Structure 1
Amino acid sequence: MKKTTISDVAKMANVSTATVSRILNGNKKVNPAMKKEVLNAIDVLNYKPDNVARSLRSKGSNILGFIIRDISNPNYAIICKGAEKIARKHNYNMILCNSFGVVENEKEHIDLLIQQKVAGVAIYMADDSINTIQPLLDNNIPVVLIDSEIEGVQLPRIRSNSYKGTYEGAKYLLNLGHERIAALAGNENVFAGRERLAGYVDAMMEFEKEPLYYTGGFSKELAYDQTMEILEIKPKVTAILAASNQLSLGSLLALKNREVKIPKDICFLGFDNDDFFSLTDPPISIINRSVEQMGSSAMNILISSIRNKNTDNKPTIYLPIEINHRYSCIPVNQMGGFKK
């Protein structure tokens, strides 16, 4: 079957190919009736524009790359939702790449995006190495970092204030009288993990309490095993601070399986406003950040960088973070003891 071309669309709509091109590129200075005819022809003929070819001809592209760690994590799905809303609003298409937190996957995705002539890339990095994104910089492709940091490299970035989140979270528990607070701090090899660990440690040191933390990753399985270890510690831990939604889920499962009651036996402070945490019994107090705004803000900055070509403006935007007080944290003197 012959492939439908822009000429076929123009012929059916009784307009020039230039008019079809202007409509496809989002030009608003087009007669509404004419635009309606063109869009109808596109629909009837099932015309699919060749975006790569268009970008080569126009020396521009309407394709953006978006690289995240794990789409199965609800937070990353929400980040993507925020990003795609903004991309579509500005007539860009978005290629979503899932690295699974593996650097080699990330590098392969970047090679693909370069081949696709993307206009820019937003990335939630699997590590903090300049080597990963160097091919993008070598090809003069704008890059925005999401909750990531590369030492010595100035790039636009969006950050949730992870340090403040765990710092304020630990202080909240300390002010409730807790002294033995265990933190599931995540992965020290990435910027967000280091920031969350530092916030917790600084709060504990400020109150002259000994930090007790676990690192190694952000998986539910790891958090489950680490929580089982925490439950064996003497003197006992009275509160757990979990520094991601996946760490929170794994830890809560371990507590459930050991029949540990929250907050009577142990208090719990989670991270990120996963709907699940408001449905538990009791609802879980959380360190909350605006996850969807991370995606939308990253895409706004990326599109601005592409259109304005302002290489000197490399903003760092911190998104607000707050504690949602529910019913999983109580003063230590109101607690009982948990079962072995």
Structure 2
Amino acid sequence: MSTIKDVAALAGVSFTTVSHVLNDTRPVSADARRRVLAAVEEIGYLPSAVARSLRKSETKIVGVLVPNVNNPFFAELVAGVEECCRLAGFSVFLCNSDNDPKRQQQYMRTLLEKRVDGLLLSSAGDDEALARIFKLASVPSVTVDRLVPGARADRVSVNNQQGAYNAVQHLLSLGHRRIACISGPAEFEVSRERIEGWRRALLEAGLAPDEQLVVESDFSSPGGYEAVRKLLRAQGGAAAPVTGIFASNDMMAIGALRAAAELGLKVPQQLSIVGFDDIELSRYVFPALSSVGCSIRQLGHEAGRVLIDRIENPGAALKDVQLTPRLVVRESTAAPAENKG
């Protein structure tokens, strides 16, 4: 492996001159700079990032922790984060915790040992587990869609309650009155906020929320599938069956589409389904899924921007950036059959 002294010998300069050229730490003559860069190219010299980080106390690397890379939401989010960080000159270390708090802590330690300049956490873990993780963090940090008690971290989120409210209000405007909610795990702040949006929309429409129509699941398509099968089977023969479903994310809504099809219910003729997040996949399932959300890539881009701002301005006041979701109406929602004439 070539060294800085090899470059210096080939360029006919001192190794300190090579260092000044590569690190831009002191003016060097144009001729010397040209010879150094030519030598670097000829022998394929790569400067040590580790040595540079020790000198400058920076690595130009940020760590990104997500709970499930199989979920398209997190794939789109990371794409936005990576794009923003790359344009700012940062590389991204991606860690997938697979919804395991212990694995999150292990990755946190690894990232800190690698001397990352910042940390971005998008996690479905409970507050206590996240609080333990942030006790380890000594670098600028940003959370996505989570408020971690006691953590000194900026937050970038979507207005979850407003998005759920918009989704349910859409179903109400079509004439639905029996509207179920497929929720994420109750211990998650995101789940609670989206249930509250469901309740608020019903109350403002003069309807008492039926808590028996709230079915807890796990934000996955299999989970949504099982939750809707359970719900619809329990509704069999009911005088006022459910005609609309609000699923707390698109993955569960996609599972709901499958469950409805297997139970012989046509969507949207007999059952309307609306999701949350507006992942790219929601446009290509059949029927195409109505959903609320903002551009997930934009959410990631904004989270990356806030993290870089925090790295560059560590003493600035903490930020709480909230994006406003929009309703996108596609093929999975329509007026209930009894309202069509």
Same fold, judged at TM 0.5 (above)? yes
Q: Distance in 2 between matches of 1:220 and 1:330?
A: 22
Q: How many residue pairs were aligned?
A: 330
Q: 1:301-320 to 2 correspondence within 5 Å?
A: 301-310=306-315, 312-320=316-324
Pick aligned residue for 1:98 from 87, 92, 96: 96
Pick aligned residue for 2:56 from 34, 55, 58: 58
Following TM superposition, by how much is the alpha carbon of 1:80 offset from its aligned partner in structure 2, in angstroms?
0.9
- Please name the residue that 1:329 is paired with: 333
- Please name the residue that 2:203 is paired with: 205
Verify the 8 A CA contact 1:290 1:320 in the aligned structure 2. Answer: no
**TM-score computed with the length of structure 1 as normaliser:** 0.86
Q: 1:206-225 to 2 correspondence within 5 Å?
A: 206-207=204-205, 208-211=207-210, 212-225=213-226
Deviations 1:284-340, CA, capped at 9 Å, x for gaps: 211122211221111111111111222x4111111131000122211225568xxxx
Paired AA for residue 305 in structure 2: N
Paired AA for residue 134 in structure 2: I
Q: Distance in 1 between matches of 2:277 and 2:31?
A: 47
Listed as ranges, the gaps of 5+ residues in structure 1 are none
Q: 1:1-340 to 2 correspondence within 5 Å?
A: 3-12=1-10, 45-125=43-123, 126-129=125-128, 130-136=131-137, 140-207=138-205, 208-211=207-210, 212-232=213-233, 233=235, 234=238, 235-310=240-315, 312-333=316-337
Report the 3-state secondary structure (helix = DSSP H, G, I; strand = E; otherwise coil) of the residue aligned with 2:127.
coil
Counterparts in 2 of 1:270 and 1:15: CA distance versus 1, 3 Å: farther
Deviations 1:19-61, CA, capped at 9 Å, x for gaps: 665676688x999998787666556544444323321111222
Paired AA for residue 297 in structure 1: E
Say which is worse superposed, 41-50 or 75-84, in terms of deviation. 41-50
Identity, % of aligned positions: 29
Counterparts in 2 of 1:16 and 1:152: CA distance versus 1, 3 Å: same
What value does the CA root-mean-square deviation take over the aligned residues? 2.8
**TM-score computed with the length of structure 2 as normaliser:** 0.86
The structure that has the greater radius of gyration is 2
Paired AA for residue 319 in structure 2: P
Listed as ranges, the gaps of 5+ residues in structure 2 are none
Verify the 8 A CA contact 1:263 1:329 in the aligned structure 2. Answer: yes
Verify the 8 A CA contact 2:270 2:336 in the aligned structure 1. Answer: no
Say which is worse superposed, 263-272 or 189-198, in terms of deviation. 189-198
Following TM superposition, by how much is the alpha carbon of 1:17 offset from its aligned partner in structure 2, in angstroms?
5.1
Report the 3-state secondary structure (helix = DSSP H, G, I; strand = E; otherwise coil) of the residue aligned with 2:146.
coil
Verify the 8 A CA contact 1:179 1:209 in the aligned structure 2. Answer: no
Say which is worse superposed, 201-210 or 225-234, in terms of deviation. 201-210
